[in-house]
Chains A and B, each alone.
Chain A
Amino acid sequence: MERTCDCCSNPAVVHETLMTGGVRTEVHLCAEHAVERGYVLPTSIGPALVVGKLLEKATQAAARTTKACPTCAMTMQVLRESGLVGCADCYRHFEDELGAIIARTQEGAAAHVGRHPAQASSLIDRAALRNRMVRELREAVAREEYERAARLRDEMHGLGLDASATEATAGEADGGAGA
């Protein structure tokens, strides 16, 4: 059976077995993630494909840094320089970028637990929130970030969300947000 990458669902092209202190660990990575982690690949694997994918990522990242928030015209570049977010809509517009920054500064926490305004109950799309957290949970497990994975499970539990691996469709997420 073909092995898939530890970090995504693409076929693995790098297979490594490590023995550390008598403990055996296996690493399986696709070309893209292998390059990201510093493995030098033979040309037969298709460096052009890998470089192309990386370039695509870099282009996407560059586009994200120049796109402006439609509400306050904040850009990621200005945000990084000032350290301040411009408005509430920036959090939706730059959700991925801010999510990564926030995770770094908040001990890896991914989602709010605790009080919320009464008016906000209807805003909480629990299915989307659960799916996002399930994806982050899977990624954490794939990267062997077990503390973060445990933290995510605790947060989902705190939010009344099902932490099993299957993503839900809209309206399926159960439980209620605690005020």
Chain B
Amino acid sequence: MSAPSTPNRAPTPAPLADSVLSSRVRLARNLVGFNFVNRSTHQQLSDIVLRVQSARFGGPFAAGVRWVNIQGTAPVDRQLLFERNLISRPFVDSTHPRCVAISSDESTSIMVNEEDHLRLQMLAPGMRLRELSERMIGLDQSIERSLEFAFHPRFGYLTACATNVGTGIRVGAMLHLPALAIVQELERVQRAAKELHLAIRGFHGEGSEALGDFYQVSNQTTLGRSERDIVEEFADGIVPRFVEWERGARRILLERDPGSLDDRVHRALGVLRSCRLLSLEESVKFLSRVRLGVSLGRITDVPLELVDRLLLESQPAHLVRATGCELGNGRDDRGARADLMRASLR
């Protein structure tokens, strides 16, 4: 498996791209007639894989399905799929039979035997939740023609974790909130997230740190509200509100001390253009600052799409596949990352 040179990024600026890195919609589904993954034997899990692989998928899979058997995949390639947000961290690390279906444009993946039998996921750059959710429902309907999903009249779609029952839908956005961090108002976001029953996570989802002021925000309530209501609240209310706060903080920074802001973003660009060794944490931190400068028009010779692409391509498995350096070898990794930045940001 090789790391494609052009990742899943739109050629034109995506909606609200200044503050929203990407949108994600996920559905959890389980098959009728099988125990959930946590109560299944290896043989039963293998049977589930075969059952799902025999189904017909529409939507993004109409042009073809690429199946990846995770058990037979090298660790670096599992990591690559994780970095591209096509599989989850637990899915990388498990040892039981499991596989993932990936659409040709990498916008969509279906993990088989993650926490639930099926985890369907769609990703897009910027704020595209409404469009994604419509496509997701179409995909779900196409799969339901050949697979029967566990359903309860009161609890809706049944899931291994009771916190996902009902619609089984999670919608989320990866927000870029550097100005709120500088003016020390991130607590406002945390407070609002708590009041609105939202989950707020770091760069790589559950349990990860908020590197570079990137935050994943997603719904926690999946029961008692329709898919449409959940998506509309997110697309029309929650995300625009957070974006407006971030934009307000950016305006404050520009009005109060534009010199400091310019220094911060151009200094970060200078580091990326000159460094010889660069850790992952440093690259995300400096790319985040450059991204702020590009979004505000303070840096004009770097496109936003390039910054977003570098956020992806500077991750460990991508560097391994692009340069052949060893996974986990800190020095090789940092040198290759610095080389990538200098070559890309010349």
Contacts and interface: CB of A to CB of B under 8 A. Distances in A.
The answer to whether A binds B is yes
Interface of A: 71-74, 82-88, 91-92, 95, 98-99, 101-102, 105-120, 123-126, 128-129, 132, 151, 155, 158, 178
Interface stretch (B65-73, B85-93, B124-132, B162-170): B162-170
B167 to A, nearest CB: 5
- Nearest 8 A-B pairs (CB), nearest first? A109-B224, A112-B156, A114-B226, A88-B150, A86-B39, A124-B153, A120-B151, A106-B223
Given A105-B220, A114-B225, A158-B226, 6 more contacts: A72-B35, A86-B39, A92-B152, A119-B151, A123-B153, A126-B153
Nearest to A82: B38
A118 B110 CA distance: 21
Contacts of B166: 106, 109, 112-114
B35 A129 contact: no
Interface size class, chain B: 35 or more
B224 A118 contact: no
A125 B162 CA distance: 21
Contact of A111 (B34, B150, B161, B223): B223
A87 B155 contact: no
**Interface of B: prevailing SS:** loop
B206 interface: no
Nearest to A92: B152
Contact of A72 (B30, B39, B157, B163): B39
Nearest to A88: B150
B224 A155 contact: yes
Interface of B: 30, 32, 34-36, 38-39, 115, 137, 140, 144, 148-163, 165-167, 197, 220-229
Contacts of A98: 155, 162
A74 B39 contact: yes
A178 B59 CA distance: 23
A113 B137 CA distance: 15
A116 B39 contact: no
A102 B223 contact: yes
Contacts of B148: 117, 119
23 contacts: A83-B161, A85-B36, A85-B161, A87-B39, A91-B152, A91-B155, A91-B158, A98-B162, A106-B165, A106-B166, A106-B223, A108-B224, A109-B224, A111-B224, A112-B165, A112-B223, A113-B166, A114-B166, A114-B225, A114-B228, A115-B137, A126-B153, A132-B154
A75 B38 CA distance: 13
A103 to B, nearest CB: 9
Nearest to B220: A105
Contacts of A85: 36, 158-162
Given A88-B152, A117-B144, A151-B224, A106 B163 contact: yes
A45 to B, nearest CB: 37
Contact of B36 (A83, A87, A101): A87
B20 to A, nearest CB: 25
Given A85-B160, A88-B158, A98-B155, A109 B227 contact: no
Nearest to B145: A118
A115 B137 CA distance: 9
B197 A107 contact: yes
A119 B165 CA distance: 18
Contacts of B154: 95, 99, 110-112, 129, 132
Contacts of B159: 85
Nearest to A113: B226
A83 B229 CA distance: 27
A114 B221 CA distance: 13
Nearest to A115: B227
Contacts of B140: 115
Given A106-B223, A113-B224, A101 B162 contact: yes
Nearest to B222: A106
Given A112-B153, A112-B223, A102 B165 contact: yes
Nearest to B154: A111
B167 A115 contact: yes
A114 B167 contact: yes
Given A102-B223, A106-B224, A84 B153 contact: no
